[in-house]
Amino acid sequence: MTDNSFIISPRITFEVSVRLLGGLMALGYTIAAILKRSSRVFSDGKATVKIDWLEQLNRHYIQVSIIFVVWLM
């Protein structure tokens, strides 16, 4: 909903099955979700470890990134 230059987005909470979401995506719909996340990042310049907590899923996710530098002569 819009009112001049403002976008009014009422909060709606509901649960749907993964099967229903898959069916909607197969029909061409775009699915989006807003998740509350908190992150902790640890890095030493060569490797980075990122730990995310997703509140709605009640789970931690871990990402590990390693930087490799290759010199070609």
| pLDDT tens track for 13-71 | 777 888 888 898 899 988 777 788 999 999 998 899 999 999 888 999 999 999 888 88
**49 CB-contact burial (10 Å; exposed 0-12 / middle 13-18 / buried 19+):** middle
Please, what is the Cα angle at 67 between 65 and 68, to 5 degrees? 135
Q: Would 11 be classed as within a structural domain? A: yes
Count of domains in the chain?
1
Q: Would 37 be classed as within a structural domain? A: yes
Structure token digits, residue 61: 């996710």
- SS3 label, residue 2: strand
Reported as a pLDDT band with limits 50, 70 and 90, residue 72 is confident
Reported as a pLDDT band with limits 50, 70 and 90, residue 1 is low
Containing domain of residue 8, as a range?
Answer: 2-66
Structure token digits, residue 8: 């009014």
Of 40, 37, 39, 41, whose CA–CA distance to 57 is shortest?
37
Q: Would 6 be classed as within a structural domain? A: yes
